[in-house]
Amino acid sequence: MGDLGHLLTPDQLAELGQVDIACVQVGGFYTINAEQAYQVVQQLNPKIVLPMHYKLDDTIPLPIEGNDRFLAYFSQVKRAKALDIFSASLPQTQEAVVLELSAVG
């Protein structure tokens, strides 16, 4: 969703059409917050939601939230190191997927 700072307009929704996978900012401050992000998810109704732009821990003093408040809206939350997605394997019900960081090197 890029640096989205608002809910989607009807024109934007029409232009996007059907969305199977959505990467949504959830940390607030610079972008939409958890509640607004969930409202965008409701507007789009994707099968897979990937939260992004959130605070990982308190070691870096960023004025954004973590992803906990956003994930609380979902009954299906998965954590994965990688995600292979095929149209035939999209889930039947909506799920949030948190991609875990992996060490490089």
How does pLDDT run across 47-103, given as a tens digit for each residue? 999 999 999 887 878 899 999 999 999 999 999 999 999 999 999 999 999 998 765
In this structure, the chain runs to a length of 105
Amino acid at 35: E
pLDDT at position 56: 87
d(CA 61, CA 40): 27
pTM of the predicted structure, to 2 decimals: 0.89
User: Which domains are assigned to the chain?
Assistant: 10-99 (3.60.15.10)
pLDDT at position 99: 94
pLDDT at position 1: 80
Residue 84: count of CB within 10 angstroms of its CB: 6
pLDDT at position 105: 54
CA distances from 46 to 18, 58, 63, 100 (A): 8, 30, 28, 21
- The residue whose two tokens read 């990688």 is 82
